[in-house]
Amino acid sequence: MKNLNLLILFSITWLTSWSSTGDSPWEKYKTNRNISYKEAIKFYHDLAAKNKLCRIFSYGNTDCGKPLELFVINAKGKFSPKEIKNDEGLIILINNGIHPGEPDGIDASVLLTHNIISGKLKLPENITIAIIPVYNIDGSLNTSKYSREGQNGPEEPGFRGNARNLDLNRDFIKCDSENAKSFTKLYRTWDPDVFIDTHVSDGADYQYVMTLIDSQKDKLSPAISSTMTNLLKPMLYDKMKGKGFEMCPYVNIFGESPEKGIAAFLETPRFATGYSAIYNAFPFVTETHMLKPYPQRVEATYAFLKTILATCYTLKGEIITARKKAKAEVKTQRKFTIEWELDTNIVDSISFKGYEAKSKKSEVTGLNRIYFSHENPYTKTIPFQSSYKPAVEIEKPWGYIVPQAWKEVIDRLQLNNIKMTRLKNDSTIASEIYYIRNYSTGKNPYEGHYVHTAVKVEKTNQEVHYFAGDYIIETNQECNRYIIETLEPQATDAFLNWNFFDSILQQKEWFSDYIFEEEAAEILKTNLQLKNDFEAKKASDKIFASDSWAMLTYVFQHSPWYEKGHLRYPIGRIVANQ
């Protein structure tokens, strides 16, 4: 232990001895101007070039052709995630600029890193800091003073969409962008214990500079949820208050004003922290308030990053233990919730510091409009709904079979390091097969897709013929949540809902009505149950009874001519090892 302490002391001293004595790029400005992408990248590359305790990694390109880079600082000069974890080290990943119009974290991370290198801030023992300087590089290079209307700085923020006009904070499961693909490689390589995504919040006006999203407690594993709720989060709130940046939960309001109450935000796996949660990390979103001055927002984000470092050092053992327990438990967990809903029967309360919401006549519309009066601040107890309950649950199968035809799905599974084996021979295997019986599709495009929701399925048992080369995925993995939340069609962010299987929803074989008339008549004569059902539907549905095509289609779809593959979900559930 004595030798280890000497090594750490030497490392910290060596770290400090290199230090630049000047200000960080952000400290030089401390105005309404944010650091540009080029300035941030140069800053980190310069540090890595001069300091053996810092290193830059590249994980592939983004949609604009520039590499997604990761800056890592470790007091022992260790840059292998496996080596760090074997040494009981804890890894914190900070993601900045996913929305480039919200650059607070970019500047705050530069300030954090500069202060560690200069010796102003001690790097805690066995804590590795990994920073994505700018995630949405594309949008960061697309600056304008007309981005983020109403936000109080910086002068020329970046644009929310990336080079493909995608909101990257909706892209983690569907993984359309090169940014997301590179991020997935990075994330699955480093497997962070704590993940922070830095943002700026709009919406209602209130007194807080910083609000916080901690990954919704009910969907976390019990071990993670308990440590988050009872230890990590209370300590963060207490320390931030002590630093002069008292926080409250993200202001996800019921109506126009927070006075009526707020609800915990449910971040499904399309979001950065929702994606992080399925890998049993401790995820957070910092949300500074857009109406506060930009320098103040950067200082608040910097204060949070300092606080998370100190808190993780204090709770390192508890965090690592909770993650190990969660990873072990998810391998054998039988029941999984794949869709959640707010539990309105459980209502807590929090103390909230806001501004009174008032009404006045709009100069634009002539109608009444809301505004928040800074002349009337208040501290009130307001309702807080923070609990979610299962809306859809499933029992996991022994495994899944993914036919090799669905390459886009397989690519994403492989990108996430899901363990898969391939069938050596064509095989007929007893499988549970879903049929999609109902679903809704959005009328407007959403992040490059027409998203499906409210999926209803019918489960059947079939002997299914699979081909040599099809993929078998056993559900005994630490990645079980990713597997289940992407392959179960009723899951909120399932691949089905993101249109990866839309071709199965289209009927391919049809009929010529004048030819099928005689066949339909014969079918009804020989299938009395179908005839009774058909007549009952005609009697109960006048529109159906007046539409000859609809009636013939009904008979066709209940005949041997109807294709078995229509609405048949192609992923097989294998209930036992065969």
- Tens digits of residue pLDDT in 65-91: 999 999 999 999 999 999 999 999 999
Q: 349 burial class (0-12, 13-18, 19+ CB within 10 angstroms)?
A: exposed
- Contact present, 100 and 199 (Cβ < 8 Å): no
Opening angle at CA 309, ends 42 and 105, nearest 5: 40
- Contact present, 302 and 286 (Cβ < 8 Å): no
Say how far apart CA 114 and CA 109 lie, in whole Å: 8
In a domain, 49, yes or no: yes
Does 535 share its domain with 547? yes
31: domain CATH number is 3.40.630.10
Does 105 share its domain with 118? yes
Say how far apart CA 521 and CA 524 lie, in whole Å: 5
In a domain, 200, yes or no: yes
Q: Tokens for 182, please give them.
A: 């590179």
* Backbone φ and ψ of 495, nearest 5°: -60, -35
Look at residue 3 in the predicted model and tell me its pLDDT: 42
Does 373 share its domain with 302? no
- Residues 6 or more apart whose CB falls under 8 angstroms from that of 20 comprise 114, 117, 118
Look at residue 28 in the predicted model and tell me its pLDDT: 64
Does 198 share its domain with 308? yes
Does 159 share its domain with 16? yes
Does 354 share its domain with 415? no
Say how far apart CA 339 and CA 219 lie, in whole Å: 10
* Mean pLDDT for back-to-back runs of 10 residues, the chain (578 residues): 38 37 67 91 96 96 98 95 96 98 97 94 92 98 95 96 98 98 98 98 95 98 98 98 98 89 97 98 98 96 98 97 98 98 97 96 95 97 97 98 98 98 98 97 97 97 97 98 98 98 93 90 94 95 95 92 92 87
**Residue 424 carries which side chain, given as an amino acid letter?**
K
Does 426 share its domain with 473? yes
Look up tokens 């927002």; give the residue: 297
In a domain, 340, yes or no: no
Does 195 share its domain with 301? yes
pTM, to two decimals: 0.93
Does 365 share its domain with 416? no
Query: Which structural domain, as residue segments, surrounds residue 478?
Result: 392-507+566-574
Does 112 share its domain with 144? yes
In a domain, 343, yes or no: no
* Dihedral Cα 460, 464, 470, 476, nearest 10 deg: 50
Does 376 share its domain with 447? no
* Tens-digit pLDDT profile for residues 518-571: 999 999 999 999 999 999 999 999 999 999 999 999 998 899 988 888 999 999
* Tens-digit pLDDT profile for residues 8-34: 333 333 333 333 446 777 676 577 899
Say how far apart CA 386 and CA 157 lie, in whole Å: 33
In a domain, 175, yes or no: yes
Does 528 share its domain with 487? no
In a domain, 256, yes or no: yes
* Backbone φ and ψ of 504, nearest 5°: -75, -15
In a domain, 117, yes or no: yes
Instruction: Give the chain's domain count.
Output: 4
Look at residue 256 in the predicted model and tell me its pLDDT: 83
Look up tokens 């109403």; give the residue: 150
In a domain, 337, yes or no: no
User: Looking at the DSSP assignment, which residues form a beta bridge with residue 61?
Assistant: 67
**Residue 169 carries which side chain, given as an amino acid letter?**
N
Look at residue 25 in the predicted model and tell me its pLDDT: 74
Give the neighbor-by-neighbor strand order of the sheet with 452-466: 421-422, 471-474, 399-402, 572-574, 427-441, 452-466
